[in-house]
Structure 1
Amino acid sequence: MTEPRLVIFDVDGTLVDSQRDILAAMAAAFAAEGLAVPPRERVLSGVGLSLPETFLRLAGAQGQDVRARMIASYCAAYADLRQAHGAESSPFYPGARAALDRLAGEPFTLLAVATGKSRRGLDRLIEAHGLEGLFHSRQTADDHPSKPHPAMIRAALDETGVARARAVMVGDTRFDVEMARAAGIASIGVGWGYQPAAGLSADRIIHDWAGLAPALDELTETNS
């Protein structure tokens, strides 16, 4: 009998492309304090971190109280944009939903997410895209230290009972890869996200969703 395996997905930049609203909400947060908005590339390079870590990177020269206000402004702006745009606030990358459905149809494969989103943000995204019941574990920045700390992966493994050798993290940033490495599991980097694939140092790199299944099979067979 095949032992279960666990595929853990990052969300923003991996499954969905939320950069439009991330950038707009970030602009609103900086404008509220009369500060210049960092360049697009710098903002996107921190996607995946928790918001406190993100604003520490982007506005570290500001005091903690200022950064706390910026986080609140960002969250309010993002919530407004999400309400206005609905599911189009974070559209799936082409092929992502079909890939999830294929994996969910495998009796030995469990799915999870590990994201820098808040619990509320993840729940609303899942609701907007009709993903209820798809993920066996949902790990967010509300409950754990920021990536690349391995707490989210460890919690997903504990929750599902899957061995580390049968688990793989799929993400678009070095934070995802470093988190996987710290947790002792394999990683797959995607080539369409917010950080260049060449710098991810993942165990495997894929450039389209068709490459996911063979990469998963190879990594979980190698590690089993």
Structure 2
Amino acid sequence: MRRPRLVLFDIDGTLLSAGGISVRALAATLHEVFGTEGAAASYDYSGKTDPQIVRDLMSGAGFAEAEIEARMPAAIDRYRTRLLAWLRPEDVTAKPGVGPLLEALAGAPRVTLGLLTGNLEPCARAKLAPLGVNHYFPFGAYGSDHEDRYRLPAVALERGRSVAGVAFEGADLVIVGDSVHDVLCGRGLGVRAVAVATGKTPRTRLAEVAPDALLEDFGETAAAVRAILGDGEG
């Protein structure tokens, strides 16, 4: 019998593209709250939580840690409000094969789906809504839960246990994402990491951090399911 699996998906670059709306909304917010967007145009957003992005950009712009901390709540609140106001359904495009993959995984025995993303929870749900896939994800771990993405797998593990009523262990988790941080963030728990080269991180860079599986995209549903669940291995 297959071991139970708790499969956690990243969002941006993995499940969808939102047309750069997050970067535009964040840059406008940073101008409003801090008076500068810093190096927002050249920053590597892949695998970062929204609060970490704010901290990195404003630290790089010369703001002291105490000042960033003091303005962080306003920045996060205004960014969330702005993104939800600016996001249009036509901005959101699913990555290849996402719909059939989620349907197949949701129908697989002993599999629970969830999210692990640097997005704030309301922003995550808003991005997924135009694709009609929110129902596949009864829970998630978000950038609004912790600024450090490497803390999120443990949050997801506890929530998954509660939602599914299954005593998942770290080795039962699968994290699917398009960035180096998606691959690395669960290593301490012994999770299975599946990288997909549909985001901004080159396939060669993803290979360097040795994911358990590396996919070009989700276009071949059966192959993607096998890679994610580890069927036929061990």
Taking structure 1 as the reference length, the TM-score comes to 0.82
Residue 222, structure 1, aligned to residue 224, structure 2: no
Aligned to 1:71: 76
Summarize the alignment of residues 202-213 of structure 1 with structure 2, pairs less than 5 Å apart: 202-209=211-218, 210=220, 211-213=223-225
| 1:66-118 deviations in Å (ceiling 9; x for gaps) | 45444344323212212xx12x3332112212211121122332211111122
Sequence identity of aligned pairs in percent? Answer: 24
1:160-200: CA deviation from partner (whole Å, max 9, x where unpaired):
32343333110111221121212211101111113233333
Measured in 1, the distance between the counterparts of 2:51 and 2:75 equals 10
Asked if 2 retains the 8 angstrom alpha-carbon contact of 1:4 and 1:108, the reply is yes
CA contact (8 A) 2:51 2:143 kept: no
Which stretch shifts more, 114-123 or 32-41? 32-41
Larger deviation, residues 143-152 vs 4-13: 143-152
- Say whether the 8 Å CA contact 1:153–1:179 is kept in structure 2: no
Structure 1 residue 50 corresponds to structure 2 residue 49: yes
Alignment partner of 1:155 is 2:164:
no
Aligned residues: 217
Q: For residue 227 of structure 2, what is the amino acid of its counterpart?
A: A
- Output the CA distance in 2 between the equivalents of 1:114 and 1:78: 19
Unaligned ranges ≥5, structure 1:
none
> TM-score, length-normalised on structure 2?
0.79
In structure 2, the gaps of 5 or more residues are none
Aligned equivalents of 1:15 and 1:173: distance in 2?
12
Aligned match of 2:98 = 96
> RMSD of the alignment, in Å?
2.5
Tell me which amino acid in the other structure corresponds to 2:24: A
Matched residues in 2 for 1:92 and 1:51: separation? 21
